[in-house]
């Protein structure tokens, strides 16, 4: 077995590989850029080697820098993780030539499956179902329109070297093909250095389901079942689960057999994933093969009990698989949610910054698992994917796994940067998700105007009011003991309060006891049992015996309370103050309708207007790039450009003015 391996990656996947290597008694070497000098992966590894500036194109993507680190450290093998050089056949060949093992597939398999056009031809030859489309390279948007008409709308425009949702567009008309071809080509060139584009039929009401395969160098190929990855946004996975709530046993077996057949056809070795698109009638079509470890591999590990990283290392060392297809068993259900630093209220745009507060829910590695590469104080950099962590839960059945995910999300406390935990909780609570009846269009269909937290209603509103009243009363008691004038009585007597949410007042009466309080809200009695302490941002309690967790932020004289994706800003007032508060006028927000603002920190790639030009509603105004994704900004109404506040090449901050209309 290898004595030392180098991880040619960063963040949570680097930490993940280090954990397994440590358990196997293998020393690890981390590589890091300027931005990652203080990262968790660097702290965890036995050695760490600096490989260059923060941009990935000047560090993690430079094969020679990785090779030099391997030589310097004396590592015998390289685990590439995912992204960066993980599917670079030339890198794999160079390692092979230098006698260094790649903990991954052979170079020829990477090359064969890395080209989406060639991989579809190979899949077709291996008897794998493929999506109808044009498999040749498309020269320009004129040819793209011609081919799209032949294939039939809607179509999917895809970068041949694409991945991670980059270089992909859906088009339902000639105009959308022209615009989508240009954007996909630009993204592909920027992300992969390869702007080849192809077009295929877009399968309507699709589900994205993938098969995990495992193969060794002795000709053994098995599959570990499927993962349901249909909950996506902009073609990027948000929620994954295993098994799929949609497949029947016949379809599951057929997909597994085809995935193994393709793996054998390309001489595959190591862990890999064959992705399929599945229509409403369970017809399935090959999408691509990812010749690496997948981001969502934890759900497969949780239901099979296998460590895929360990399997990859053993296979790379020449070992034969220790299990056969008959040995693979599925235990229960697992769900993974990707916790991102992004702003759901701004169409999920990246929200870079420092994690001023970071408190993860309790994990045991069995029912709750967290894969992360950050901690409190870590910087979410503009240079890389803004993932904070992967949160996975397991249960005997899907309902239990969902409930555990909801509890874990409620316990995730992140401040200093935007994050999507409330949105993830909203998905978990959605009736359509719980039913299992969804497609890859779920988020677009159920959140057409983007995500905004729901307001509490009914019994949940009562609980929100009880939490706010309890917390405020505790703070008021501390103020009373400190001698502040005008503060109501101590906790030893019943107190009357009014909880204001928007323009509504909710009368509450609270009586404290040593282990909580009894609260009356809307004529409902709530027995609240808690050991909450002043200053804690997470409020866990039993409400009439039922456990629930809330998050609390103090906003001046108000509290922001969050639970299960539901959120409310609440003020707790004395009866007299509540009477006066109703009379206060509301402050109107400034009118920004005449501005086009940058919705995120990013680079102004292009500007389509100039001062004095008349612009129609819906016309392109500017293109802003962030995290290698292009975002087209359009005019919200007809108007004439009064002032241009930025020029192409400028680095923009969030809400920075780009164009102002008359």
Compute the distance between CA of residue 489 and CA of residue 500 in angstroms, rounded to an integer: 20
List, for residues 223-241, the tens digit of each pLDDT value: 999 999 999 998 889 999 9
Residues with Cβ within 8 Å of residue 547, at least 6 apart in sequence: 407, 540, 541
CB atoms within 10 A of CB 661: 20
What pLDDT is attached to residue 316?
A: 98
The answer, yes or no, to whether residue 626 has pLDDT greater than 80, is no
pLDDT one-digit tens code per residue, 322-335: 999 999 999 999 99
pLDDT digits (tens, 9 = 90+) for 201-221: 888 889 999 999 999 999 999
CA-based radius of gyration for the chain: 27
pLDDT in the model for residue 487: 58
Residue 490: what pLDDT? Answer: 63
Burial 551-567 (b: 16+ CB within 10 A, else e): bbeeeeebbebbbbbbb
Residue 120 has pLDDT above 70, yes or no: yes
Q: Residue 117: pLDDT band by 50, 70, 90 thresholds? A: confident
Considering only residues 168 and 559, tell me which one the structure prediction assigns the higher pLDDT. 559
- Residue 348: predicted pLDDT: 82
Residue whose pair of structure tokens reads 């204001």 in the numeric block:
500
| 577-583: average pLDDT | 89
| Residue-level pLDDT at 488 | 58
Angstrom distance (rounded) from CA 561 to CA 507: 17
- Domains belonging to the chain, first-starting first, are 4-103 (3.40.50.20), 104-131+208-331 (3.30.470.20), 133-201 (3.30.1490.20), 336-444 (3.30.470.20), 458-581 (3.30.700.30), 595-661 (2.40.50.100)
Q: Which of 36, 623, 97 has the alpha carbon at shortest distance from 373?
A: 36
Please tell me the pTM assigned to this model. Answer: 0.84
What's the pLDDT score for residue 590? 82
Mean per-residue pLDDT, 405-423: 95
Q: Give the model confidence (pLDDT) of 349-402 as tens digits.
A: 778 889 999 999 999 999 999 999 999 999 998 889 899 999 999 999 999 999
Note the pLDDT of residue 628: 63
504: how many CB neighbours lie within 10 A of its CB? 11
Strand partners, 505: 500
Q: What is the pLDDT of residue 615?
A: 92
Instruction: Indicate the pLDDT class of residue 660, thresholds 50, 70 and 90.
Output: very high
Please give the positions annotated as active site.
Answer: 288
| Contact (CB, 8 A) for 40 and 380 | no
pLDDT digits (tens, 9 = 90+) for 58-107: 999 999 999 999 999 999 999 999 999 999 999 999 999 999 999 999 99
Q: Answer yes or no: is pLDDT of 164 > 70.
A: no
Confidence class for position 166, pLDDT limits 50, 70, 90: confident
The pLDDT of residue 162 is above 80: no
Q: Residue 347's pLDDT is what?
A: 78
- Which of 233, 243, 245, 192 is closest to 338 using CA atoms? 233
Q: For residues 350 and 383, what is the distance between their CA atoms, to the nearest angstrom?
A: 11
Q: Contact 232/240 with Cβ under 8 angstroms?
A: no
SS3 101: strand
Q: What's the whole-number mean pLDDT along residues 168-172?
A: 92
Pairing between strand 657-661 and 639-644? antiparallel
In whole angstroms, what is the distance from residue 610 CA to residue 4 CA? Answer: 58
Spell out the residues 6+ positions from residue 362 whose beta carbon is closer than 8 angstroms to its own: 368, 411
pLDDT for position 9: 98
pLDDT at 489 over 80: no
**Run of H or E residues at 622:** strand 620-626
Q: What's the maximum distance between 2 C-alpha atoms anywhere in the chain? A: 83
The pair of structure tokens assigned to 384 is 């890389």
Task: Give me the mean pLDDT over the 610-620 stretch.
Answer: 91
Q: Which two tokens stand for residue 394?
A: 């397991």
**DSSP labels for 45-97?**
SSEEEEEE-SSGGGTTT-HHHHHHHHHHHT-SEEE--SSTTTT-HHHHHHHHH
pLDDT mean across residues, the chain: 93
């039939």: which residue's tokens?
A: 152
């Amino acid at each position: 077995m290898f004595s030392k391996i180098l991880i040619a990656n960063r963040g949570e996947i680097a930490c993940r590989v280090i954990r397994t290597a440590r358990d196997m008694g293998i020393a690890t070497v981390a590589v890091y850029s300027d931005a990652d000098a203080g990262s968790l992966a660097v702290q965890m590894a036995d050695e760490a080697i600096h490989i260059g500036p923060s941009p990935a194109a000047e560090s993690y993507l430079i094969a020679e820098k990785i090779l030099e680190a391997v030589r310097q450290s004396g590592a015998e093998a390289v685990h590439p993780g995912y992204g960066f050089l993980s599917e670079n056949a030339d890198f794999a060949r160079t390692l092979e030539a230098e006698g260094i093992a790649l903990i991954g597939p052979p170079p020829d398999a990477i090359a064969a499956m890395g080209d989406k056009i060639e991989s579809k031809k190979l899949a077709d030859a291996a008897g794998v179902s493929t999506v109808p489309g044009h498999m040749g390279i498309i020269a320009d948007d004129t040819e793209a329109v011609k081919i799209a008409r032949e294939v039939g709308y809607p179509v999917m425009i895809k970068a041949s070297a694409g991945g991670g949702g980059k270089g992909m567009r859906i088009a339902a008309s000639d105009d959308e093909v022209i615009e989508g071809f240009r954007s996909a080509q630009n993204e592909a060139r920027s992300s992969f250095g390869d702007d080849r584009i192809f077009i295929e039929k877009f399968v309507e009401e699709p589900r994205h389901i993938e098969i995990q395969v495992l193969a060794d160098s002795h000709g053994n190929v098995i599959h570990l079942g499927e993962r349901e990855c249909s909950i996506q946004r902009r073609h990027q996975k948000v929620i994954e689960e295993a098994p799929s709530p949609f497949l029947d046993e016949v379809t599951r077996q057929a997909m597994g057999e085809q995935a193994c057949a393709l793996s054998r056809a390309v001489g595959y070795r190591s862990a890999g994933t064959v992705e399929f698109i599945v229509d409403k009638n369970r017809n399935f079509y090959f999408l691509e093969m990812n010749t690496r470890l997948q981001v969502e591999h934890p759900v497969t590990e949780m239901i099979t009990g296998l460590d895929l990283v360990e399997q990859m290392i053993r296979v790379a060392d020449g070992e034969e698989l220790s299990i056969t297809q008959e040995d693979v068993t599925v235990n229960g259900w697992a769900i993974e949610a990707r916790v991102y630093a992004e702003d759901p209220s701004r169409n999920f745009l990246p929200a870079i910054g420092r994690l001023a507060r970071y408190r993860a829910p309790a994990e045991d590695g069995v029912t709750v698992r967290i894969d992360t590469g950050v901690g409190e104080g870590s910087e979410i950099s503009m240079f890389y994917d803004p993932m904070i962590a992967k949160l996975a839960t397991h249960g005997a059945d899907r309902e239990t796994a969902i409930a555990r995910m909801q509890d874990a999300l409620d316990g995730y406390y992140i401040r200093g940067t935007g994050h999507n935990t409330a949105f993830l909780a909203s998905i978990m609570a959605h009736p359509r998700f719980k039913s299992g009846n969804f497609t890859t269009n779920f988020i677009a269909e159920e959140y057409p105007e983007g995500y905004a937290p729901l307001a509490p209603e009914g019994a949940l509103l009562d609980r929100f009011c009880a939490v706010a009243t309890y917390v405020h009363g505790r703070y008021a008691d501390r103020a009373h003991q400190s001698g502040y004038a005008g503060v109501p009585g101590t906790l030893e007597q019943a107190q009357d309060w009014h909880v204001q949410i928007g323009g509504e007042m909710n009368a509450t009466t609270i009586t404290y006891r040593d282990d909580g309080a009894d609260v009356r809200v809307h004529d409902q009695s709530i027995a609240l049992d808690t050991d909450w302490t002043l200053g804690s941002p997470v409020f866990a309690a039993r409400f009439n015996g039922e456990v629930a967790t809330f998050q609390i932020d103090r906003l001046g004289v108000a509290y922001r309370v969050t639970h299960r994706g539901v959120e409310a800003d609440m003020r707790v007032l004395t009866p007299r103050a509540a009477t006066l508060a109703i009379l206060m006028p509301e402050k109107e927000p400034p009118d920004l309708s005449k501005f086009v603002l940058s919705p995120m920190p990013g680079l102004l790639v292009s500007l389509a207007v100039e001062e004095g030009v008349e612009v129609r509603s819906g016309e392109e105004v500017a293109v802003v790039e962030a995290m290698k994704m292009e975002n087209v900004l359009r005019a919200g109404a007809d108007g004439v450009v009064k002032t241009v506040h930025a020029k192409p090449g400028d680095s923009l901050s969030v809400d920075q003015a780009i164009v102002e209309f008359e």
